Amino acid sequence: MSLISAINKPLKGIVPPMVTPLNDDGSLDSASVKKLIEHLISGGVHGIFILGTTGEFSGLSYQTRRNLITQTCKQVAGRVPVLVGITDVSIEESIALAEFSVKAGAYATVVAPPFYNNIDQEELTRYYLELADEISIPLFLYNMPSHTKLTIELDTVIKLSSHERIIGLKDSSANAVYFQSLCHAFRDQPNFVLMVGPEEMMAETVLLGGYGGVCGGANLFPKLYVELYEAAVARDFEKIKSCQNIVMEISRNIYQVGQYKSSYMKGLKTSLSFMGLCQDTFAKPLSPFSESEIQQLQSRYDDVVSSLSVSA
């Protein structure tokens, strides 16, 4: 069975942090969830990560989170591994989500540090070890200092990696020195998976030892990111250059409308609505673009789609 085989080798490739389609009343837009999952799988992605930052996990009720876990695992049906974000400030709620994910058939969980209290590396280490002890599903560390106010330091990662259920790390810091330090420290442990969040740096990290990317833009254009990943693996620099160019156009144009701290999230989800893959409805505290911002984004989105056609 595909799930078993997935567990027996380290995860590699493109694992989109899936956007969470929502209805106006905040409930899950199940029809869009289905469409979006099929869109991703048909694009060749190597896994699907739900309830991450891009999945707006923090703004969702627990009921909505559970609904999404259930539906995603059922819809994916073992075709690719499903990773579930269970980041929470309460370890009990994280454990409950983990156990729910096990029953739903998820492959692994992804956990950023508890993000309210300011804590030290020692406390963080103890927290992760205790969480890993309490759950019965693999766990990826999730480094996200811009949101959690602390970095999972290299020495902490090394300590945590000795736990049998801690199998890798997703780094969203954009800090290339940090990521290279990880690649170096784990150079002889090929089963410890090291992926980056920011899609702009995915190719270069794969060239230098990374395992792939949790690329938000892969919600929109999964094939593009899979191609870029494969080009990096194959060291096909002509292909890398053409794909990277479009990835950077997406970054520059889709993710930077308005001066919002959430421009990335707004641009991504609104573009997905242009494709008919979800509504431009956000979990609080985020809110939709204004009408003029939508028009600006539509025009930029059309340009990106044109580049893609030319390139393809």
- Interface ranges with its own copies (CB under 8 A): 26, 53, 58-62, 64, 89-93, 113-120, 123-124, 126-127, 130, 146-147, 149, 174-181, 183-185, 187, 198, 200-201, 203-205, 207-208, 235, 237, 240, 244-245, 248-249, 251-252, 260-262, 265, 283-287
* 245 phi/psi in degrees, rounded to 5: -60, -45
- Across 155-172, b (16+ Cβ under 10 Å) vs e yields ebbebbbeeebbbbbbbb
Smallest separation, CB 295 to its own copies (Å): 20
Q: Any long-range contacts for 20-23 (C-beta under 8 Å, 24+ apart)?
A: 20/50, 20/51, 20/55, 20/56, 20/57, 20/60, 20/64, 20/68, 20/283, 21/277, 21/278, 21/279, 21/281, 22/64, 22/278, 22/279, 22/281, 22/282, 22/283, 23/279, 23/281
Smallest separation, CB 38 to its own copies (Å): 28
Smallest separation, CB 3 to its own copies (Å): 30
Q: How many CB atoms lie within 10 A of CB 52?
A: 27
CA distances to 101, 102, 221, 289 from 45, rounded to whole Å, are 20, 22, 10, 29
Nearer to its own copies, 34 or 159 (CB): 159
Are 160 and 143 in contact by the 8 Å Cβ rule? The answer is no
Smallest separation, CB 4 to its own copies (Å): 32
Nearer to its own copies, 127 or 274 (CB): 127
Smallest separation, CB 216 to its own copies (Å): 12
Nearer to its own copies, 107 or 178 (CB): 178
Smallest separation, CB 125 to its own copies (Å): 10
Distance CA(311)–CA(134), nearest Å, equals 48
Smallest separation, CB 272 to its own copies (Å): 18
Element (H, E) at 241: helix 237-253
